[in-house]
Every structure is written in structure tokens, then in C-alpha cells.
Amino acid sequence: MSFEKIVKTLVGDSPGKTTELTYFRIGPNSAEKKVYLQAALHADEQPGILILHHLLELLRVADEAGELGAQFVLFPMVNPLGMGDIEFGQHQGRYDRDSGVNHNRQWPDLFGTLGQDLKGRLGNDEQKNIQLVREAIANWLNKYPKIKARDQWRHAVMSEAFDADYVFDLHCDDESLLYIYSVPQQKEPLQRLANYTGAVATLLAEDGGGNSFDEVWSAIWINLAKACPDKNISHPVRSCTLEYRGQTDTFDGINLQDAENLYGYFQAEGLIGGAVRGKSIQAPDATDLRAMEIVRAEHTGLLAYCVELGDRVETGQKIADLIQLDGEQAFVKRTPVLAGTCGLILSRNTNKYVWRGAGITKIVGTEILESRGEFLLED
């Protein structure tokens, strides 16, 4: 049995400023499998904190009962730097104030850094290849610069995630239903996760365009397999982003059930024993992320929605009106906002005052949209 609370001090970039990064390691050190979970990488997205709060207690009890067959590492609040981003009474938390970079963008490209060296060392032994790659990442992490608080933080987080067999990054959207982001190579393995979480959509892309955290741990294996087609390179990491509804969906009852469902998923994966928990449904099949339309405002205005989350719409159907706020037609003219594809209304904007280019809704369809371009994620 092992339940360990770990606190690391991040030395700040200004005098007298330090930040505590707290996480937990639960389960036998000798376990063959490792599960890594984190929440609130975007610090203004808090449902995951409450989910991992509940999951932590479930795992503690299971550990005491000797029911854990894997080691679990949980960062319930992975971004304490972002939690301190409070300005004029409003919490921000999505962007690093120093660099302006989204906290879930521009994580390292491990293949770009390590790929050339690894290509000449990999062979036909699948398990040995996994070991070689993870050793290379560990050696790279040992040299990772840790000057600024942000560097220290990223190093601490990656040092726990790099050798995990499951890497789950818990986020949320604005106003939304529950859904998952992952890669096409994980379509079949993650169907069970979709079933247990109750995800209404699983959206797949090898490269979302922003080097998000979950893609770090998939991309190196995908790119190594492409670069070395004659070698036995598997995809040993189940890595994904779980979007737990909207920012306001932080409720004890809902998030306790979310934790129970995650627990049930890990039981179904053979990682936890004991009495079965969670609820499983038949979730929709995964779809290509390029088939999800992000409808954006063509001009500034006030949103008046005429669709609800979960509604199905047809191409050209009105989903909202934009009420004009200036000019000759101010407060009179209503400009219809139309769906550019047919599919499911996945999210809406809680801010009804929107400006040119602001996201209005996401629609999950099945038809690939050429207009999506290369950068598939919202900033």
C-alpha cells in the first residue's frame, strides 16, 4: 500500500515569490502500469479539480484494501501558477502572463528533439523500443532548463507523465456537453472511456495544431512509427483530453459521478479490483476533428441563441441571431448566424457579447470541412 502526497516548491521570477505544486502518488511502486491524471491546466477550468478530489478518495480506499493493480499519479490542480492569475476581481488562468502562451499550447515536440537519435537505435523488440524511448525522454528531462517558474513547473509535470501508460488531461469547455479529444490511433482503445464517461463525441486528430499537452505523449510514437516502418513500434500510451462539460459545471454530485465513472473505467481496464463502480453506456463512435465546425461571429454583437446543447441542426439552419450594437441599425438589426454543417450542437458561448472572430458554437458532424485548416483547436 502506498499513498504519498508530494509538494514541490516553484521558485518565483520576482523577489519573495514561491508557489506550491501538490500532487499524489497512489498504488504499488512495483506495478507494471502507470496512470497519470491532471486537472486545471487551464486554471480557469475547475470541474476536473472536483472530479480528481473525489477520485483521490476512491483510490485511497482502494489502496488500503489492496485493490490497485497500477500506480496512479494525480495532479488535482496542476497549474498553481495560473490559479494566481486574478485581475480586477476576475480569475483568468488560460494564458501565461509572461510569454502570452496558452498554458495548453507549445509543449515540447519530443520527436523533433529526439527522433533522429532514436531512429538508429530502435529494433524489432517492441518492449525494448518502449524502454529505449522512455530512457531517451528521461535523459532529455534531466537536461531540461529550470530557470523560470514556468520551466520548473513544466519539468515537474512532464517528469511524472513521460512514462505513464495512460495520460488523461481533464479540461472543460465554455457551456458544453462532455466530449474527448484524442488521436486516430486510439479510436478503438478509447471507445470504452467514452462509454464510461458518457461522452457525446470523441474527436480525433494526429495534430491539433498547437502542441497541446496530451498530444506530446502520442506524437512521438506516431512519428517514430512513420519514420521507422520496418521497426516494431507500438503506441503504448492512451493519451487524451477529457472536456468535462462547461466552466460552471463544478458540482459535487455530478463530479462525484464523473469520478465513479473514471474509476469504473479503470476497473474495466483491469487496473483496479473490488466492487464494480461507474456507469457505462454506448457512446457515439469517434469522428474526425476536422468534421467539427467552430462557428464564429462575423461582427460584434449580442448573441441570441435559438438552439440548445444537444440539438441536431442542418446545414444553413439558424442557430442564433447577432443583435447589432452600433451604426444605423444599432439595437434594431438581427443578423442570423447559420450552421455550416449538419450535426450536434456541442457547445455555446456563455458570454453573449461577442466580437468579430469569437467562437459562438461547436457543431460535431461527420463531413470533413476543408475550411478548418491546419490549426484545429481554439486558442
From 285, 304, 326, give the residue that closes a domain: 285
How many Å apart are CA 217 and CA 186, to the nearest integer? 12
Total domains, the chain: 2
In a domain, residue 379? The reply is: no
CATH of the domain at 269: 3.40.630.10
Residues 297 and 162 in one domain: no
At 371, is the pLDDT very low, low, confident or very high (cuts 50, 70, 90)? confident
The residue-averaged pLDDT of 6-27 equals 96
Closest CA to 292 of 358, 340, 354: 340
Residue 1: pLDDT over 80: no
Cell of 155: 519539468
Residues 208 and 241 in one domain: yes
At 228, is the pLDDT very low, low, confident or very high (cuts 50, 70, 90)? very high
DSSP 8-state secondary structure symbol assigned to residue 284: P
Asked whether 364 and 295 are in contact (CB, 8 A), the reply is no
Domain encompassing residue 297? 290-372
Residues 62 and 198 in one domain: yes
Residue 119: pLDDT over 90: yes
Share the mean pLDDT of the chain: 97
Residues 208 and 328 in one domain: no
Residues 278 and 305 in one domain: no
Residues 200 and 213 in one domain: yes
At 313, is the pLDDT very low, low, confident or very high (cuts 50, 70, 90)? very high
From 236, 251, 285, give the residue that closes a domain: 285
335-357 tens-digit pLDDT? 999 999 999 999 999 999 999 99
38-75 tens-digit pLDDT? 999 999 999 999 999 999 999 999 999 999 999 999 99
CA 360 to chain CA centroid, nearest Å: 21
Residues 259 and 219 in one domain: yes
From 235, 258, 285, give the residue that closes a domain: 285
The residue-averaged pLDDT of 103-128 equals 96
Identify the pLDDT of residue 82.
97
Identify the pLDDT of residue 374.
84
Tracing cell 490497485 back to the chain, one arrives at 68
Residue 221: pLDDT over 80: yes
Identify the pLDDT of residue 378.
83
Beta-bridge mates of residue 243: 171, 179
Asked whether 350 and 174 are in contact (CB, 8 A), the reply is yes
Identify the pLDDT of residue 187.
96
Q: Which amino acid is at 327?
A: G
Residues 217 and 271 in one domain: yes
pTM for this prediction: 0.97
HEC string for 135-203: HHHHHHHHCCCCCCHHHHHHHHHHHHHCCCCEEEEEEEECEECCEEEECHHHCCCCHHHHHHHCCCEEE
Distances (CA, A) of 222 to 15, 115, 199, 217, 236: 43, 11, 25, 9, 10
Distances (CA, A) of 212 to 86, 209, 280, 300: 24, 8, 28, 29
Reduced to 3 DSSP states, what percent helix, strand and coil does the chain have, rounded to the nearest 5? 30, 25, 45
The residue-averaged pLDDT of 164-184 equals 98
Percent of the chain with pLDDT over 70: 100
How many Å apart are CA 249 and CA 247, to the nearest integer? 6
Listed range (23-27, 95-99, 361-365) with the worst mean pLDDT: 95-99
DSSP 8-state secondary structure symbol assigned to residue 80: H
Identify the pLDDT of residue 373.
83
Q: Which amino acid is at 19?
A: T
Closest CA to 346 of 299, 284, 303, 297: 284
At 317, is the pLDDT very low, low, confident or very high (cuts 50, 70, 90)? very high
How many Cβ atoms from other residues are within 10 Å of residue 335's Cβ?
15
Q: Output the CA torsion 27→157→48→351 (10° steps).
A: 180
